[in-house]
Structure formats: structure tokens, C-alpha cells
Chains A and B, each alone.
Chain A
């Protein structure tokens, strides 16, 4: 039974959510709004599980004096610091001038922005090391990247300033974006959509059930 009930729920709920698209009548017309609300509430409840798991693993590391256990203390302390501040500030925690905002602006933001921007370095290193014109396909990828990158900065048009307007790098980049790129995007989009339809259908029919785990 422990396995059948979830399968049944998945199937029934899945079919109902397909049908809601076609039925404008109550309650079906409310369903996508409900799902979005309910999902956000479940998500907010579930984060307790994740957070407790993180704390558990960190305390285990501290307790067993694993390598780098000192950093586990840092994780716990910084987690508790922002959580306590955030809960203490109340619902206006995000207003400017609160301690939570200070932590957000001067600790969280520099860390996440820097981590985001570290990509610039990795992009360059990947270009040097990995983007090789190994075969025709890879060459096409490189050429497209080359023209788009040049065409999108002012320096590109300086290089082709002797050419007529339509043949300048910026126009070429615009053409690539609007036609071959759009075609490729579309093929991928349609393909993914079909993949999602088929995967979803397998889940609804209960053919694919590994996501529900075992039946202990």
C-alpha cells in the first residue's frame, strides 16, 4: 500500500492538472494558482529538512574532528547569525537599514556576485583549452561564437568599417542571432517539450516510478 497510494495520487493529480488547461470552470480554473501557492508553502516547510540535514552533517564533522572541521563551525555560526537576525527583524526584515540587509549587502552580495563573476575566468580558460576546431561541427560553433562576440562590441565594426553596412560584423551577428540561432533554439525547444510530454506521461501512467523510491 505504501507504494500504491503515492502512485495513485501522482496519476490522479497528473490527469487533473492536464485537464485544468481545457476546463475554465471552477475549481479547475483556480488550480494553477493553487498549485503555485501550495508549492511555495511546501517548499518553505521542506527547507527545514535541508537545513537540519546541513546542521547534522556539520555537527558530525565537528564532533568527529574530521578534516577542516573548523570550517563546519563557520557554516553553523554564519547560518545561525543570519537566521536569528532575520527572524528577529520580523516581516520587515528586508527594509533598508536592518541588520539583515547589512548582512545581505556586505556579505551575501559580494560573495554571490564574486562567485557569479568567477565565470569570466572559467570562460576564458575553457576557450583556451577546450574550444578546439576538432571537426566541422566544432568549427561551426567557434565561428558562430567568434562573429557574435566581435559583432556585439564596438571594436568589431571598427575592424570591418570599410565594408558596406549590411556586411559589417554587427549586422552579421544580428543575422546569426535572428536566423540560424533561432532555428536551432526552436529545434531544441520542440525536442525538449516532446521529451517533457513523454516523461510526464510515463510518470502519470506510473510506468516511470523510480522517483517515488522503494516500497519498504
Chain B
């Protein structure tokens, strides 16, 4: 069985990489398997984790026998979960063309809740917290800053400031304002460059992992 498993895994791995040469039946086969398997994987996982694990076990928890021999729930039943089930059911009404429009209600609920929830979340943790962290003494009394720190602090303050100026939509980027926006773009580019560097690092590691599978686990060539 282990041999079959290794060969199946290797066949699929190489099939995906054959796409690098060109689109071909081998890749198409792997792609079709991938789409089917992954859709099924999430289908099964969401069912067991969310519908069974979250909803069903939440409303009807398992029981266990405690130290004194009583039969007790492992957790308290949470009947609020039924609201979620109702929303989910309304969503499924889309399958009935005549009353499919009802599915807009749960959708409206989700969009509304997402909007409200993230409005406040992003405002507090991204705007407030980041502004708080950016406002700091660049140097000064009672703050024992080295030259390294001072330069760093100035860079952070200037970078954040000008970066934000770049995102102004209602003012033309001209003159001093345009100059600041341009400095802002410079900082954004350095950020992208750093992100790029780290991404290369990450992707190469993944490929190393795959190649280790091919040459090590599968072919056993690595000494």
C-alpha cells in the first residue's frame, strides 16, 4: 500500500508540474481530480465541522459520566445556534426558483453583520492602534534614543505620513502635495520589494519541500 501511495502522490505532483511545459492531458487529469477532490473535501469538512460539530453538538451536546456517577453534558447546550440553522435553511431556498428571493435575507444579514463588524474592528485595531503606535517621541528628554533609533523613528513617521498622502483621492497630486505623495509611493515600493523578497523565500522553501518529496521520499536519492 505504501508503494501505491508514494507512486500516486508522485504521479500527481509531476502532473501538476507538467503544466510548466505546456497544457497537456496529464495536467488536465490532475486538475480535474484536484477540483473534484477539493470540492468534496470542503463539502465533507464543512459538514462535519460546522453542521455536525458546531450546530448539532452545540444544541445536543455529548454526555459523559462525571466523578459522582451522574450523566452530564460535556458542554452547555446553546440554543442560539438554531438561528444560524434557520439562516442556512433560508439560504438553501434558492434551490426553489419561486421563493429563491428569500435567500437574500440571510445574505443581507451576512453583509450587514460583516459591514458593521469590520467597520468597527478595522477602525479600532488598524486606525486607532496604528496611529497610536506611530505617534512617538522621535528623540527627546527622558528617552534614551540611539542614532539608529532616531533615524528609524523618523523613517517610520515620514513613511506613514507620506504613504497616507498617496491615498488621497479628492486632491490632485501636484506641487508639494504631489511631492509628498511621490515620497509615499517610494515607501510603498520598498514595502512591496520586501514583501517580494520574503515571498520568494517562502515559495522556494515550498518547492524545496516538494523536491525533497520527489528525490528523497519517493526516489530515495538523497544521501
* Contact between B152 and A41, CB atoms less than 8 A apart: no
| Least distance between A119 CB and chain B CB atoms (Å) | 4
* Contact between A7 and B108, CB atoms less than 8 A apart: yes
- How far, in whole Å, are A190 and B184 apart by their CA atoms in the complex? 13
- How far, in whole Å, are A82 and B112 apart by their CA atoms in the complex? 35
Q: Does B76 contact A (CB under 8 A)?
A: no
* Contact between A78 and B116, CB atoms less than 8 A apart: no
Total interface residues in chain B, CB < 8 Å: 118
Which residues of chain A are near B124, meaning CB under 8 Å?
A: 21
Which residues of chain B are near A51, meaning CB under 8 Å?
A: 39, 43
- How far, in whole Å, are A81 and B91 apart by their CA atoms in the complex? 26
Which residues of chain A are near B186, meaning CB under 8 Å?
A: 136-137, 140
* Contact between B188 and A188, CB atoms less than 8 A apart: yes
| Least distance between B88 CB and chain A CB atoms (Å) | 3
* Contact between B108 and A115, CB atoms less than 8 A apart: no
A41, A76, A119, A204: the one contacting B84 at CB < 8 Å is: A41
Closest chain B residue to A1 by CB distance?
B101
Which residues of chain A are near B138, meaning CB under 8 Å?
A: none
* Contact between B88 and A114, CB atoms less than 8 A apart: no
Total interface residues in chain A, CB < 8 Å: 126
Q: Binding site of A, secondary structure by majority: helix, strand, loop or mixed?
A: helix
* Contact between B39 and A41, CB atoms less than 8 A apart: no
Q: Binding site of B, secondary structure by majority: helix, strand, loop or mixed?
A: helix
Which residues of chain A are near B118, meaning CB under 8 Å?
A: 196, 200
* Contact between A193 and B122, CB atoms less than 8 A apart: yes
* Contact between B32 and A200, CB atoms less than 8 A apart: no
| Least distance between A26 CB and chain B CB atoms (Å) | 11
* Contact between A111 and B48, CB atoms less than 8 A apart: no
* Contact between A114 and B52, CB atoms less than 8 A apart: no
Please, could you name 6 A-B residue pairs with CB atoms under 8 Å apart, sorted by A?
Answer: A46-B88, A108-B41, A113-B13, A141-B193, A184-B163, A187-B160
Closest 8 CB pairs of A and B: A187-B163, A183-B159, A144-B193, A184-B191, A17-B116, A86-B44, A45-B88, A148-B197
Interface residues of A (CB under 8 A from B): 2, 5-7, 9-18, 20-21, 30, 32, 34-35, 37-52, 54, 68, 71-72, 74-83, 86-87, 91, 93-94, 100, 102-121, 123, 127, 131, 136-138, 140-149, 152-153, 173, 175-194, 196-197, 199-201, 203-204, 211-213, 216
Known: A7-B108, A188-B191, A193-B123. 12 other contacts (CB 8 A): A18-B120, A38-B87, A47-B46, A49-B95, A78-B36, A80-B40, A109-B9, A118-B20, A141-B190, A149-B201, A184-B163, A186-B159
